[in-house]
Structure 1
């Protein structure tokens, strides 16, 4: 707005609201704009001045006040010396550099214990590249620090960083940033060059044989022992009774016997596997037992998904101290693909307020329909009474297996009141036991 426009607009507004109101309104608008600018400047200053820098600035202000107030030339000289030091430190931060920094994570998913690397590529496409700036790359709880060498025009710098994978979970990587700081440490300026990446560390699994136990209910397998009037698995002929579907009358047999005979079938229905991973802390002696249980449950789930079986992966849900449910005593993990399942298992931990195992089993069988096999995976601290109670909540005709995990323990199989319990010390034990069960079945 020009000077002439300003002076022509004020009298027009003054006729309507008065000159004083217009001046006050514009003064307030200018004050708000200045306050916003001051706040932005204050945030920028707070982001670059270190605690030592604030101490030096405060000392300079006190020295100026005391020196000029008392006329002490020595104090005045010290004050201006501190001002010069702060000014030089601020000039040290000027410039961003014309280089490029890229963070690459070639493999976003690894199995626990496998090596994983993050690549950092720095390039100088122009004349003004990086000039020995400090580089910081957060990887999980650690921060890798490097000093980038001076890069000539057209040169590049490529370095790899090892990512810790000794624990299942999600490891945050980055963002990569460069740090410009003066030699004294009064000012520090961080420049972020990339987004944060994630590395998913999956639980260790083993390849197990096809799950045949409990899977005798689908159309490609064997029929059930339940008889029905219509299905695809023929069982026998019987005499016609009122209400039978006439489409199933066997006319040749009816002609021989002189009595209407109808076909009778064995019912076939779709199989469904349910894996229940116990998250109650008291079920496990230590972390190693829980990690083995996660790997065992993941191995069974991955095999079922690979075989295109209908599978539900259930974990314990939380409950309040009074026993009331918070969102139900069970949670279901995604099983649309193996990656989705093990991705979800990356962040599964023991639940301090986990519902009791029998309550979880009852809620699961009430929610999920068509279950033919239930596999309970837990630790050695879970008593057999609790396992039998959980198995008792499962409807009759549904097979139940329990897997108790004890790292480096002796593998064994036992049957207690109709409940089969596998004790495993390694994931390979589970593979062998399931293969043996399948051969017997």
Structure 2
């Protein structure tokens, strides 16, 4: 006989309960105190930011050196460091009056024109008007233009007086150049304190790629009114193919009654599927496919030239790049977006993976054009070709500046090598033939 003993549950003493409650209360209090301290710190920073923002990097360095000089003087009793610290702080105080004051400007920033082709001239105009009732002292304005900054000295202006500044915008390369915002700058000559006021919003200048005109008859595209006939057989279309025996589920409207009466068996029409022309233009911006920046720019020009012709022909078009699907509603929208194409690096393992991801949700194409640089392996073109099926016509454009422009066929794939943009129209005429 086995005897079992059961232990009665231990009861927690009131003192332990009290300690636990006290610990929880202290933890909650510490958490609340931490959150309150963070809120107070954020509030203090928000209040002092207008003051600290006017201190330029040189001013922060001068203040730090002054504090260190005072510390050295206090520790070692070196009076020279006291003089140094006092001089540096005096320089900061002397700089304060240079940032005091309020300007009453109205600034108008215009670019003329807003869209240019790479290499064309573009000008900008900044008009500064004194909209206040008091005369204004001379001031300095800065205007970011692309990666640079233009500086202008605005003379003293009487009430309602205005001053114009003209500037040239560099447009030798395709890009989207942002001009502005225009800011006025107040500060001392040493650059210790700097106070800026923003007066305008940024304005975009679209520098379009250089394009070549492609004749409509040389586009190398299928042009149709009712659709392009394919080899796929369907039960409902407009291109008659043959008759076959009726099967359950066939639509009665497709029954050919005269043949059915003659043969004594229900016969229905079969059709060849017709498809509206849909062109997909795949532009790879992968950096490793291009030997130089000029080669990349030529590829963008080829893509834009092809897309312009297709849009003007009214054919369905999709243009995709690694980071951007170009708008194709109008030529201007497409050219604006082509100005934004930039090289990318290693976003996809290869051209096939990029083409699959970029065209997954697009309509099935009847024509596919793939544009890439001279360093791409032709096997990547062929791998991308297999994505679109046998009914799609695929053209691979290999960009190689200075090379002999030519047309070749590699394993059933038409490869168009472009050495000069001017050769594109005649090569497309050869493709069409």
Q: TM-score range by the shorter chain?
A: 0.7 to 0.9
Structure 1 residue 267, shift from structure 2 partner: 2.2
Stretches of structure 1 that go unaligned for 5 or more consecutive residues are 1-28, 318-330
Query: Which position in structure 2 is the counterpart of 1:381?
Result: 375
**Match of residue 48, structure 2, among 41, 47, 51:** 41
Query: Which position in structure 2 is the counterpart of 1:397?
Result: 391
Structure 1 residue 393, shift from structure 2 partner: 3.9
**Match of residue 416, structure 1, among 391, 410, 413:** 410
Structure 1 residue 45, shift from structure 2 partner: 3.9
Query: Which position in structure 2 is the counterpart of 1:55?
Result: 62
Stretches of structure 2 that go unaligned for 5 or more consecutive residues are 1-35
Listed as ranges, the matches of 1:303-314 within 5 Å are 303-314=309-320
**Aligned pair 1:168/2:161, yes or no?**
no
Pair 1:182–1:278, CA change in 2 (3 A)? closer
| Distance in structure 2 (CA, Å) of the matches to 1:245 and 1:82 | 95
Query: Which position in structure 1 is the counterpart of 2:365?
Result: 371
Query: Which position in structure 2 is the counterpart of 1:199?
Result: 205
Query: Which position in structure 2 is the counterpart of 1:25?
Result: none
Pair 1:128–1:88, CA change in 2 (3 A)? farther
Structure 1 residue 286, shift from structure 2 partner: 1.2
Structure 1 residue 81, shift from structure 2 partner: 7.6
Q: Is the 8 A contact 1:98 1:129 kept in 2?
A: no
Structure 1 residue 103, shift from structure 2 partner: 1.9
Cα deviation, 1:7-31, whole Å, max 9, x if unaligned, reads: xxxxxxxxxxxxxxxxxxxxxx9xx
| Distance in structure 2 (CA, Å) of the matches to 1:34 and 1:51 | 25
Structure 1 residue 124, shift from structure 2 partner: 2.2
Pair 1:286–1:60, CA change in 2 (3 A)? closer
SS at match of 1:152: coil
| Distance in structure 2 (CA, Å) of the matches to 1:409 and 1:34 | 64
Could you state the TM-score of these two structures normalised by the residue count of structure 1? 0.74
Cα deviation, 1:69-126, whole Å, max 9, x if unaligned, reads: 99x9x99999888776544432232212233222223443333222222221011244
Q: Is the 8 A contact 2:319 2:325 kept in 1?
A: yes
Larger mean Cα displacement after TM superposition, 224-233 or 274-283: 224-233
Query: Which position in structure 2 is the counterpart of 1:342?
Result: 335
Q: Is the 8 A contact 2:125 2:166 kept in 1?
A: yes
| Distance in structure 2 (CA, Å) of the matches to 1:227 and 1:61 | 87
Larger mean Cα displacement after TM superposition, 245-254 or 409-418: 245-254
Query: Which position in structure 2 is the counterpart of 1:17?
Result: none
Listed as ranges, the matches of 1:101-112 within 5 Å are 101-112=107-118
SS at match of 1:223: strand
Pair 1:125–1:266, CA change in 2 (3 A)? same
Listed as ranges, the matches of 1:148-159 within 5 Å are 148-159=154-165
Pair 1:337–1:355, CA change in 2 (3 A)? farther
SS at match of 1:403: strand
| Distance in structure 1 (CA, Å) of the matches to 2:201 and 2:341 | 25
**Aligned pair 1:208/2:202, yes or no?**
no
Cα deviation, 1:373-401, whole Å, max 9, x if unaligned, reads: 11111112223333233324431122111
Cα deviation, 1:276-308, whole Å, max 9, x if unaligned, reads: 122333322111111111221122223223333
Structure 1 residue 404, shift from structure 2 partner: 1.0
Query: Which position in structure 1 is the counterpart of 2:183?
Result: 177
SS at match of 1:224: strand
Larger mean Cα displacement after TM superposition, 287-296 or 354-363: 354-363
Cα deviation, 1:173-215, whole Å, max 9, x if unaligned, reads: 2221112223454433222212223323332223323376452
Q: What's the C-alpha RMSD, in Å, of the aligned pairs?
A: 3.9
Query: Which position in structure 1 is the counterpart of 2:31?
Result: none
Q: Is the 8 A contact 1:53 1:185 kept in 2?
A: no
Query: Which position in structure 1 is the counterpart of 2:345?
Result: 352
| Distance in structure 1 (CA, Å) of the matches to 2:288 and 2:229 | 41
Q: Is the 8 A contact 1:129 1:151 kept in 2?
A: yes
Query: Which position in structure 1 is the counterpart of 2:288?
Result: 282
| Distance in structure 1 (CA, Å) of the matches to 2:335 and 2:238 | 37
Listed as ranges, the matches of 1:113-192 within 5 Å are 113-192=119-198
Q: Is the 8 A contact 1:53 1:187 kept in 2?
A: no
Pair 1:110–1:93, CA change in 2 (3 A)? same
Query: Which position in structure 1 is the counterpart of 2:18?
Result: none
Count the aligned residue pairs. 392
Structure 1 residue 140, shift from structure 2 partner: 1.7
Listed as ranges, the matches of 1:77-92 within 5 Å are 86-92=92-98
Listed as ranges, the matches of 1:57-76 within 5 Å are 59=66
